[in-house]
Chain A
């Protein structure tokens, strides 16, 4: 909302990098060309599962133009984004786990030569049984993909009980169980991953990469290359889209570093689109079972949720993904007793990881469809049920997540009234329907990836005598606008314009650490750190200006590139004059700010995943038409409301909301992450179907502002949350249109016809013996479940 006291925040200003983007002058990693630069290619496994008996690179090394070769045994130290899953190697030393797993690499004078040389590398494989699904992997505990994990191909299994759910089911008037399958999908960023490494004559290493997490890449490089982090510099180039697909440290980043060290030349690699499909780290395929007890009026007495995740070949963020499939069910509606059981299984497919919504779109899809089914059982209007069962603000949930502001009820009210829900539901006529869903998402993970007590985001600010300001932060702009955010905050706090601010970001040598662009954490954490830094330096400027103007500093305000006496506007100084005074008085001007999330109230082991400073909320209504003869579904319009706390730049927020809708529609109706004979069936942008602009329906977006006390100026996240309600709202609208339930996504035309003809079979959970449950003791009465804290 526009606030008269704010001149930058809350306004739809242009992004600081917009001119370069539209002029085609943004320098992405693949645009970098350095003197004497070599090119690298990686030889990848043609087998989904095999042991490497031997690798012979001699023919490749002898190929004209080849500068160096590299095999996995030269980089024997494993890495992985999570400390508990250090299961990857830069190149596989002894075993490959999916088609596309890196086996060897070549640096050569150009890319064609490197590729030709890769074909001259001889690898002797012992082929192992490919395990291409959770069911297959569980059925072959003898054929272990990894040598760690509790047993067989289980990567991680969990079971937590928050309150006696069996008692809750006994108290219920009605109990319902459903099973769902979310097929999983990939990020499809426009920019393919690229990296350039340069090891200088001083032995120091610089890596430019399209990464969302330069700090974690920095750590992985130091570990695998056995170098001091002080001698490694990681620069995240502007990302041409990330969506979570550039959040892991990747083998190719380490490979170019090592090849640069071996050759003494800068080395570049740019992945092909097919290789990006193999890097993956996309949405996990998840089978889910959900059981809920309700009273006649719809009040939930207990919920039991199970999820089985198909993890692919490596750990990646998978342990966190697993917890996320059970964490946020509780932060939208009143659920007094809750039980979650989950398992992540290794399979011989590209590794899954975090994609926009990380681990929460799958259970949200299941939950919101399940709620509609419960409402149908009880004869309740699903809109009214949601409105009546929405959590109040300042709630502690059954699984001990602390909810601050919650604009979900307002979101429902907006989309229900704008869409004409009451007039339309069940009344649109044959083949047309309307559906609703709500959702929640984190505004930043409460804990870092590795245990430490340091800030999650640091900002440094430097003020120039000429009135310019430079702001330094490790946060990484992946198109979402984090560089712009830094400029907006500095400009707002110092009373200057964003164009007066020079932003330096995502460079481990120059900028304080920010953990990275994941978990929707940057606006809140970097924003708060930036406010702190800017206010510190503003205090010095005000002190000096106050003396010059002979007014108390508390009366000063900064605006229009001047420092003003709020009581007497005739008394003012230019910002640059005030800076000169402050520097004369205090010496070189600069300040730092940092941010660390508040401590979670939860103390149970595993409670590190789910807590967040605050949650964003969304609601969507989908109206669609369905063709009974063909099964083709066409979405006609979407209304979406998002509780963003405060829209720091409404135009950018709307861009994130609409982008989320687009991505959600692709996941609901099109994207098929399917495999054939051990291979990704369609690793290309032509055959992997994602909507074009012509497939995008009109979207009406509504921003709800709750001014959250944890957020900078009250802001929450907007980059991931709005995706979540879209997928179940499509499924719920299809039910309204045709009276059918397809309990899996994507919803394809053949599945619609199968359901219309009674041939559709609901998904089945894999046979699995769940581990013994951990009964989590309730919090002390002072923070009891559901209590409203003021």
Chain B
């Protein structure tokens, strides 16, 4: 079987303490919450931290509370987020996205904070040490080239979070706790532009809380494209939200997941929608604008040209869903 490399496990009681341990050990330390991402990656030697900082005992990072909006402790499991009464009532799209991550057993262990920070993915990188050595290491671990885009100076591993596009579309924020203090930033500022340094936070900062603002008056949805009904990471995620004034769009957000190294806001398409009626024709035009920044490459399931096409179709379907129009999805058939 594949086995974990040796490491020292540290279990701090506060986020501040956790941040200090991370700061003390620099690049040799990594935090872990549910472990559904980190441990398999460690078994494949994609990550080899000497010190693993377990966050499970940090009480301040737990719990879900309604406070006008929602405050989600980063340690809330994806199952808790998917099933929580307040989340379902105030931000059902957050429940929906959390409930679409992986499979039930992994949602029972995996956390909302972990999903926002989930490592970027690439099928040249998410492989065993043996496989990566055989094909030649890539720049994300042990090598210096990008195997999917050999001319590139940066890594093209895909952002693979289901919840990140939704949080961005809702203008959510996160609390980051460092050794010296804490700060609060929008989720849209959490992500970088490189598949290696994919988080814009400092490496010792701990994501402790997610704050979802009150979005009454908005309609929002999340659509996930994947091969199977469970387990799979997204090969495309579309979060869309609109605030209507009568039949006219006052404000819109469209965020694409799994099409680049970070979630991509289709701001042009959102701007295009402003002040327009959400009819079929407008939606088609908005989708035609929204899918352009999608830059899928041959490093995930199914053909990348197809994935790019699907971004347009899925944005259109998401907006049709928000407009109350038929989405075009296959109707349920009971034979």
A interface, CB within 8 angstroms of B: 44, 46-47, 99, 111-112, 115, 192, 270, 272-274, 431-432, 623, 625-627, 629-632, 634, 636-637, 670, 676-679, 681-684, 686-687, 689, 691-695, 698, 748-750, 753
Q: How far is the CB of B209 from chain A (nearest CB, A)?
A: 30
Query: Which B residues are in CB contact (< 8 Å) with A272?
Result: 1-2, 128
Of the listed stretches B109-117, B191-199, B274-282, B325-333, name the one at the interface; the rest are far from the partner chain.
B325-333
B306 near A99 (CB under 8 angstroms)? no
A99 near B134 (CB under 8 angstroms)? yes
Query: Which B residues are in CB contact (< 8 Å) with A270?
Result: 1
A192 to B1, CA, bound (A): 9
Q: How far is the CB of B254 from chain A (nearest CB, A)?
A: 18
Which 7 A-B residue pairs are closest in the complex by CB-CB distance?
A694-B229, A46-B134, A637-B335, A750-B306, A750-B303, A636-B333, A692-B230
A585 to B329, CA, bound (A): 76
A82 to B131, CA, bound (A): 30
- Which B residues between 229 and 265 are near A, CB-CB below 8 angstroms? 229-232
- Which B residues between 297 and 333 are near A, CB-CB below 8 angstroms? 301-303, 305-306, 309-310, 313, 328-331, 333
B230 near A687 (CB under 8 angstroms)? no
B123 near A681 (CB under 8 angstroms)? yes
Query: Which B residues are in CB contact (< 8 Å) with A626?
Result: 330
Which chain B residue lies CB-closest to A700?
A: B335
A115 near B3 (CB under 8 angstroms)? yes
Asked if B141 lies at the interface with its beta carbon under 8 angstroms from chain A, I say no
B230 near A274 (CB under 8 angstroms)? no
The answer to whether residues A749 and B229 also contact, given A632-B330, A677-B135, A682-B123 and a CB cut-off of 8 A, is no
Asked if B130 lies at the interface with its beta carbon under 8 angstroms from chain A, I say yes
A46: contacting residue among B133, B309, B330, CB under 8 A = B133
Q: How far is the CB of A291 from chain B (nearest CB, A)?
A: 32
A629 near B313 (CB under 8 angstroms)? yes
B305 near A274 (CB under 8 angstroms)? no
The answer to whether residues A687 and B135 also contact, given A111-B1, A432-B333, A749-B306 and a CB cut-off of 8 A, is no
Which chain A residue lies CB-closest to B43?
A: A272
B333 near A625 (CB under 8 angstroms)? yes
Query: Which B residues are in CB contact (< 8 Å) with A112?
Result: 3
Q: How far is the CB of A628 from chain B (nearest CB, A)?
A: 9
A753 to B130, CA, bound (A): 36
Q: How far is the CB of A71 from chain B (nearest CB, A)?
A: 18
A630: contacting residue among B230, B301, B313, CB under 8 A = B313
Q: How far is the CB of A423 from chain B (nearest CB, A)?
A: 12
B131 near A274 (CB under 8 angstroms)? yes
B335: contacting residue among A623, A670, A678, A691, CB under 8 A = A623
A686 near B231 (CB under 8 angstroms)? yes
Query: Which A residues are in CB contact (< 8 Å) with B306?
Result: 631, 749-750, 753
Query: Which A residues are in CB contact (< 8 Å) with B313?
Result: 629-630
A694 to B99, CA, bound (A): 14
Which chain B residue lies CB-closest to A696?
A: B229
A677 to B150, CA, bound (A): 14
B302 near A687 (CB under 8 angstroms)? no
Q: Mark B1-17 against chain A: 1 for CB-CB distance below 8 A, else 0.
A: 11100000000000000
- Which B residues between 87 and 130 are near A, CB-CB below 8 angstroms? 123, 126-128, 130
B330 near A634 (CB under 8 angstroms)? yes
Asked if B292 lies at the interface with its beta carbon under 8 angstroms from chain A, I say no
B123 near A431 (CB under 8 angstroms)? no
Query: Which A residues are in CB contact (< 8 Å) with B135?
Result: 676-679
Q: A274-B130, A274-B131, A682-B123 are in contact. List 8 more A-B contacts (CB 8 A).
A: A112-B3, A272-B1, A625-B330, A627-B329, A636-B333, A679-B134, A687-B126, A698-B335
A689 near B301 (CB under 8 angstroms)? yes
Asked if B227 lies at the interface with its beta carbon under 8 angstroms from chain A, I say yes
Asked if B183 lies at the interface with its beta carbon under 8 angstroms from chain A, I say no
A679 near B131 (CB under 8 angstroms)? yes
Query: Which B residues are in CB contact (< 8 Å) with A431?
Result: 330
A634 to B330, CA, bound (A): 8
A684 to B303, CA, bound (A): 18
B227 near A670 (CB under 8 angstroms)? yes
Q: How far is the CB of B160 from chain A (nearest CB, A)?
A: 12
Query: Which B residues are in CB contact (< 8 Å) with A47?
Result: 134
Query: Which B residues are in CB contact (< 8 Å) with A682?
Result: 123
Query: Which A residues are in CB contact (< 8 Å) with B126?
Result: 684, 687
Which chain A residue lies CB-closest to B103?
A: A692
Which chain B residue lies CB-closest to A638?
A: B335
A431 to B328, CA, bound (A): 11
Which residue of B2, B130, B232, B310 has the most chain A CB atoms within 10 A of its CB atom? B130
